[in-house]
Amino acid sequence: MNKQVGFTLIELVVVIVILGILSVTAAPRFLNLQSDARVSALKGMKGAMAGAGSIVYGKAAINGVERATSASVSNIALVFGYPEASELGIVRAVQGLEDRADWAFSEEVISDSLVVTFAGRELLSDPQCSVIYENAVMGSAPSITVVETGC
């Protein structure tokens, strides 16, 4: 009788099934797709805020109120020509931010700032997974920061 060397078809199928189960359970931990998607959405919001701020600043410059500590253009509250860190400022300037179905925001977490995060997330005293929009100061644009921790 000949002695066979190698694996049987059943052994091969069992090993492939076990490897498939391991890859399905381990892949989400390594890929972390949800976190990357959240961070990308926050970076998109940062870009939208920066773009809206530049457009509003242009309108403020045309109207001659870019140096005023408090003014308004197109029903948007301004600080030194840029949208104010409030619901009457940057929230009105960014299209879609007023709709609270996707985004949540608070002016109370950090003074002179607006914290924006995903709807359904709590805005705590230490904001995580959010965008922080800080009011402009004389001679410089507003500071817009993406906080990636906690995503």
pLDDT mean over 35-60: 94
pLDDT tens by residue, 3-40? 777 778 888 888 899 888 888 887 777 777 888 899 99
Please give the pLDDT value at position 96.
Answer: 83
Q: How far is CA 56 from the centre of its chain?
A: 21
Task: Choose from 9-23, 113-127, 136-150 the range with maximum mean pLDDT.
Answer: 136-150
| pLDDT at site 48 | 95
28-43 exposure pattern, b = at least 16 Cβ within 10 A, e = fewer: eeeeeeeeeebbebbe
**Domain ranges, ordered by start, for the chain:** 11-147
54 φ/ψ sector (left φ>0, alpha ψ -120 to 50, else beta): alpha
In the prediction, which pLDDT does 82 show?
A: 95
Per-residue pLDDT, 1: 61
- Residue 7's pLDDT is 77
The SS3 call for residue 82 is strand
Q: What is the pLDDT of residues 70-92, one digit of tens each?
A: 898 999 999 999 999 999 999 99
Distance CA 142, CA 93 (A): 14
Provide the Cα torsion 129, 102, 39, 21; round to 10°: 100
Q: Give pLDDT, residue 124.
A: 67
Q: What pLDDT, on the 0 to 100 scale, is given for residue 39?
A: 94
Beta strands per DSSP E along the chain: 71-73, 76-79, 82-83, 103-106, 113-118, 130-134, 143-147
- The structure's pTM equals 0.77
